[in-house]
Amino acid sequence: MAFQDFDKIQERVNANRKRKFRKRIIVGTVSLLVVVAAIIGGAFAYVAFEKQNEQEPKNNHKNDAKDSQKKSQSASPTPKAPVAAAQSVKPGQADKIIETLCSTTLYKVSCENTLKNRTEKGFAVESPTTFLKAAIEAVNEDLDRVLEKVLSLKTENQDDKDAIAQCKLLVEDAKEEIVASLNKVNGTEINNFVKIVPDLDNWLSAVMSYQETCIDGFEEGNLKSEVKKTVNSSQVLTSNSLALIKSFDANISPVEKVATRHLLDQIPSWVTNEDRRMLRAVDVETLNPNATVAKDGSGNFTTINDALKAMPEKYEGRYIIYVKQGVYDESVTVDKKKANLTMVGDGSQKTIVTGNKSHAKKIRTFLTATFVAQGEGFMAQSMGFRNTAGPDEHQAVAIRVQSDRSVFLNCRFEGFQDTLYAYTHRQYYRSCVIVGTVDFIFGDAAAIFQNCNIFIRKGLSGQKNTVSAQGRVDKFQTTGFVIHKCKITANEDLKPVKAEYKSYLGRPWKNYSRTIVMESTIEDVIDPIGWLRWEETDFAIDTLYYAEYKNKGPSGDTASRVTWPGFKVINKEEALNYTVGPFLQGDWINALGSPVKLGLYDA
């Protein structure tokens, strides 16, 4: 069943309350199925509700330097199962359906109130997805309010003005994803609902990230507090919508056993046969690029940006830019209008895009990236992405990726702190090299790193190194990092002095940080405890999900690992959930032709 959240819910209640909770779900589901007499082939009825308004405030976010805080969400509607044609649902039945579907949300009261407030008594519907649509529409309307409020903020501080401008763009991005979600729900029959779950989960998870980044852009103070309060209700609504998708999917949709598809070394299905052949091409003649970039003037363009400007906005098919050997010192953004773009270089240490923006230069981490990939379906092969700002300049991103269904093959990402910003959506990295010091793989994408070499380099004296800082803010987000069949080791500059630098697999940037390391080789550069607390606090140690499976090497043994509630040594069955097939709906990679392992290597 597509993109699921496989975390084990840690309820802080006694065993008796757990039994009562399960009983309530069972009773509610039975009632739902009774009300739903004809799931296939009939008209459906809407439910009647009284108009009430209630919101639940809560928060959890952190600043641009990644200071931790708590998260929250607000109200949202809940989907209902279909009812026989020409029948109407009695108020009591409707309430039971709402209670059942909202029972697993983080904000149950808000969920119920939002749904009741947005439905009209006796209104006939064509599909039970009307309830889910209502939930997502509530997010869309609240984002309008957020945008209006943010634009009304007054300040003379330039940093705050920049943060407001950035927040505006992020809210607009969030609205685009919400509209896409609404369109997807509107155009889908109930018996095909399972097919749209991955996209809905993906888009709404990105909406959560955009909202969080808006808040992160402001420095601590009154203005940030005001923005956080403003954004809170849309966060709650989005969280509840994500929870409802899962509840709706579980009650209505058939189950697909994707996790068992682990025998084929193929790419995700979102990659076409043509794209697959292109990725396997090794010479320019076979590649047949649409444009060639060369610093020496032997191509169509001398800069990558010039080649991008010449790319048609609505090009049919995949557009290929070949970038010849050279160091390209330019800030590059592949915007959302440039979908299905492939960049191919002469080698990850021959074709290099470089820059040196950093937080120390008074630039927000989000904007320090040398290269930004936004257009859907972006692919890069044999390219290098670098940020040369040194360790004393702190956050300095080499690449920010928010392209959905993006693939990086034989690429190199080089920096110090915050090298690779795997920001949002579904991402796949194969046979890449990633080099850095602190949190050098970070963000809130659903990303799998497979067969990659991860090098920890020498940073500031006394500095603790962390490979990852995953930023999931809500347990219903389908995001997380999977480091699969990789090698984690010391870079050449660190090897002679690695005893002087403590290094760890990761630390929790946000409340529901999720990282899985499996079937990888972990050299002795990693401390035996494996994982690091966030700034020596207990932040998120009981809500995060850190897992390891069958790692090897000097530091692969888990005997001395942290004993946090959120850390797990998982078995094969659970590990399969985090392979390319189920976690990324990895069939799309097959279509692109990049080599990929859909399942476990020991299967």
The alpha-carbon radius of gyration of the chain (Å, integer) is 24
Q: Are 449 and 486 in contact (CB under 8 A)?
A: yes
Q: Is 206 exposed, middle or buried (0-12, 13-18, 19+ CB in 10 A)?
A: buried
Distance CA 370, CA 388 (A): 10
Distance CA 158, CA 348 (A): 38
- 3-state SS, residue 487: strand
Distance CA 213, CA 18 (A): 35
Which of 413, 507, 403, 491 is CA-nearest to residue 445?
403
Which active-site residues does the annotation give?
439
User: For residue 549, which amino acid is it?
Assistant: Y
What tokens does 518 get? Answer: 């499996």
Cβ partners under 8 Å of residue 92, min gap 6: none
- 3-state SS, residue 499: helix
Give, for 548, the enclosing helix (H) or strand (E): strand 545-549
Distance CA 293, CA 352 (A): 12
Q: Are 540 and 512 in contact (CB under 8 A)?
A: yes
Q: Is 453 exposed, middle or buried (0-12, 13-18, 19+ CB in 10 A)?
A: middle
Q: What beta strand segments (E) does 279-383 contain?
A: 291-293, 319-323, 326-329, 332-334, 341-345, 351-355, 371-373, 379-381
Cβ partners under 8 Å of residue 6, min gap 6: 574, 577, 578
Cβ partners under 8 Å of residue 500, min gap 6: 461
Distance CA 519, CA 550 (A): 5
Backbone conformation region of residue 315, classed left if phi is above 0, alpha if psi is from -120 to 50, else beta: beta
Which of 190, 192, 257, 212 is CA-nearest to residue 72?
212
Cβ partners under 8 Å of residue 593, min gap 6: 267, 271, 273, 275, 276, 277, 278, 279, 280
Which of 107, 53, 47, 103 is CA-nearest to residue 80?
47
∠ CA 376-378-381, rounded to 5°: 170
CA 456 from centroid of its chain's CA atoms: 24
